[in-house]
Structure 1
Amino acid sequence: MKKVFIFISLAAILVLSACGNKDNANNNTNMDMGSDHSNMGDMGSMNHSGSGEVPAGLKEAQNPTYKVGDEVVIHAKHMEGMDGAKAKVVGAYDTVAYAVTYTPTTGGEPVPNHKWIIQEEIKDAGSEPLQPGTKVTMEADHMEGMKGAEGTIDSAEKTTVYMVDYTPTTGGNPVKNHQWVVESELSK
């Protein structure tokens, strides 16, 4: 009886792990690692669409270049199908945007130069911009394993950040409330 139970348990583990590997393989092949995110790791866990909620303390831009409702073109390679996609601005906020390198709380390789998290998504960031090299704890949850992860600021840019809705150029489902693209990554 004990041998049967062990055999069934092992068989279940093998079946479940095979399913997980298949899903991860599919997710990894569907992501564009482009120049913005070389060696990103498992981008399949990125929350492409968001709830539209913004962090506490984030202030709407008073005079953004692109206003809510404007149609724009994205010029960024954060993920496959983003570069060249037509988008609609659904939010514009003045803040500091950061590229960060961090190690996911779920383990695995460090994620280099992730773009973007903002001042309000960094634990105890205060109101002054943080300098490259600063160690931080992230409160953003754009990707699995990001919230609570320790990271290092790679670059900082005081700018207007935008939340956008867009349809990937590669087809697929529309992305709603994507956070974040910076002003220099958009055009009319």
Structure 2
Amino acid sequence: MNRRMTTLVAAGILGGSLALAGCATGAEDDTAPSATQTEDAHGGHGSHEDMEHPADGGPVPAGMTEATDPEYPVGTEVTLTADHMHGMDGATATIVGAYDTYTYSVDYTPTGGGEPVTDHKWVVQEELENPGDERLPDGAEVTLLADHMEGMEGVTATIASSTDETVYVVDYEADGMEMTNHKWVVESEMQPAS
């Protein structure tokens, strides 16, 4: 009886710890991303459960404006401080593109259903349907053209936050997996490689 009680108490403590770990979120401001966004075992942006991110992010959308004088030019090695993906924080990355645009964190429910995705970082203005030229306000509803994750393309999303920082495409390795053309990382989510 005593052994059973010990097992039940241990299971309760473990379950409570897991529940608390799953509730971690970060407060956002206009330009600085949070360092405490949630991650899952599959490496998602925001709260993606059972969603895979492709190893090759592919080309950038048509119409992107290359940054004329980015802090980190193409070819520069940097250390990532973002934690969008499992193993990303602290990884060494190489800049493969730098762009001037508006960049958004969005909340949406995947087309196939499932758990809502919150605080997906990032989609750019050029990955939204008919966004116009102006920065869109927090709370605006948009249609996503991005296909970073399964079930993302074509959904209606709500803008959670935005920034006009230079946004980058990077190559990096995390947990033995090569990520190429990863979209997107904003300037405040990286630092010079040490």
Normalised by the shorter chain, which TM-score bucket?
Answer: 0.7 to 0.9
Distance in 2 between the 1:29 and 1:155 partners?
21
- The alpha-carbon deviation at position 154 of structure 1 amounts to 0.3
Residue 42 of structure 1 is aligned with which of 35, 46, 50? 50
Deviations 1:63-92 (A, max 9, x none): 100000000000011110100000000000
Q: For the aligned residues, what is the CA RMSD?
A: 1.6
Residue in 1 that maps onto 2:126: 120
Deviations 1:10-35 (A, max 9, x none): xxxxxxxxxxxxxxxxxx963357xx
Unaligned runs of 5+ in 1: 1-27
Unaligned runs of 5+ in 2: 1-38
Output aligned runs, 1:132-151, within 5 Å. Answer: 132-151=138-157
- Matched-pair identity in %: 51
Distance in 2 between the 1:42 and 1:135 partners?
25
> Is residue 95 of structure 2 the alignment partner of residue 96 of structure 1?
no
The amino acid that maps onto 1:31 is H
Output aligned runs, 1:70-81, within 5 Å. Answer: 70-81=76-87
Distance in 2 between the 1:135 and 1:30 partners?
29
Secondary structure of the structure 1 residue equivalent to 2:135: coil
Distance in 2 between the 1:111 and 1:29 partners?
12
Distance in 2 between the 1:29 and 1:114 partners?
13
Q: 1:77 to 1:29 in 2, by over 3 A?
A: closer
Instruction: State TM-score, norm by structure 2.
Output: 0.75
Which is helix-richer, 1 or 2? Answer: 1
Residue in 1 that maps onto 2:111: 105
